[in-house]
Homo-oligomer: A and B are copies of this chain.
Amino acid sequence: MIIDRLYEEIKDKGNVCVGLDTHMDYIPEEMKSKYKKLEEIIFQYNKRIIDCTSDITAIYKLQIAYYESYGIEGLKAYKRTLEYLRKIGSLSIGDVKRGDISATADMYAKAHFEGDFETDFITINPYMGFDSITPYLKYLEDGKKGIFVLLRTSNEGAKDIEYLEAEGKPVYYHVGDKLEEMGKKYMGKSGYSSIGAVVGGTHQDEAVEIRDRYKNMFFLIPGYGAQGARGEDVGKYLNGLNGGIVNSSRGIIKAYMKYNDGVEKFDQYTREAVLNMREDIGYEG
């Protein structure tokens, strides 16, 4: 099961998920002028980050919105980055948050688990119901792929739908309870299922409750750094460090920008950002 591979990666490398939400504004002029095509510039920037962090990063997450915003060229960079990660043996998440049903969901599954945009895990939006999740499950059966379904996110708007109280529990528990049940078919040796959940790292008050309720569920935790969650907050979701990964994007891929000599020491500052975050979360290696 792919989830076991992720579990092992975490033991070796820590709980950091580096979010490659790459924007052209983050890329130093020195790197931009070296390459002609946008595809190449973005890919080379990602490669640079990957090369200096892959021994301390359990998994990389690519937010596809950034690549889509650059059109065909951007998506070529998305494709190449995923290919590169696969080549060097690093795991990846395509943060696509797709949510659709039947034949359409089949097409999304094909798009992101095969072909140009193949990745190890994708994120899924459950609004349309659980038949928007089932089409992906055939890829989980042989253990090669996994999914993270949006459960309870870290944004202000989470209250609008996710937190609505329905039939005695919040909407996100309706999602989670069903996922926990579906996940039993895809359990790894690690004790976690290849059906994971996206759970925002803020709202520490209910962190323990949500962690206890979904013992078999591995969490992808956004919200660290830029969105306000601290190491001690996200720690509560981690189940003794092995039940989740914590994503940081800007905190790492823009880390070099905080320093006058950031461009010269790009690798060092980027790496330090991952190491500091790893320590802040509580990894003792």
Binding site for B on A (CB under 8 A): 21, 63, 65-66, 68-72, 75-76, 79, 97-105, 107-108, 110-112, 115-117, 125-132, 150, 153, 155-162, 164-167, 171, 174-175, 178
| B contact residues around A116 at 8 Å (CB) | 71-72
**CB–CB A171/B162 < 8 A:** no
**CB–CB A71/B115 < 8 A:** yes
The residue from B125, B129, B158 contacting A160, defined by CB atoms under 8 A apart: B129
Closest chain B CB from A27 CB (angstroms): 15
Q: How many copies of the polypeptide does the oligomer hold?
A: 2
**CB–CB A155/B102 < 8 A:** yes
**CB–CB B167/A165 < 8 A:** yes
Closest chain B CB from A149 CB (angstroms): 10
| B contact residues around A69 at 8 Å (CB) | 107-108, 110-111, 115
**What are some 30 contacts across the A-B interface (CB < 8 A)?**
A63-B100, A63-B104, A63-B107, A65-B104, A65-B107, A65-B108, A66-B104, A66-B107, A68-B111, A69-B111, A71-B79, A71-B116, A72-B72, A75-B75, A99-B125, A125-B127, A126-B127, A126-B161, A128-B158, A129-B157, A129-B158, A130-B160, A131-B160, A132-B157, A161-B171, A161-B174, A161-B175, A164-B171, A165-B167, A166-B166
Instruction: Report the separation of the CA atoms of residues A284 and B126 in the bound assembly, to the nearest whole angstrom.
Output: 39
**CB–CB B150/A127 < 8 A:** yes
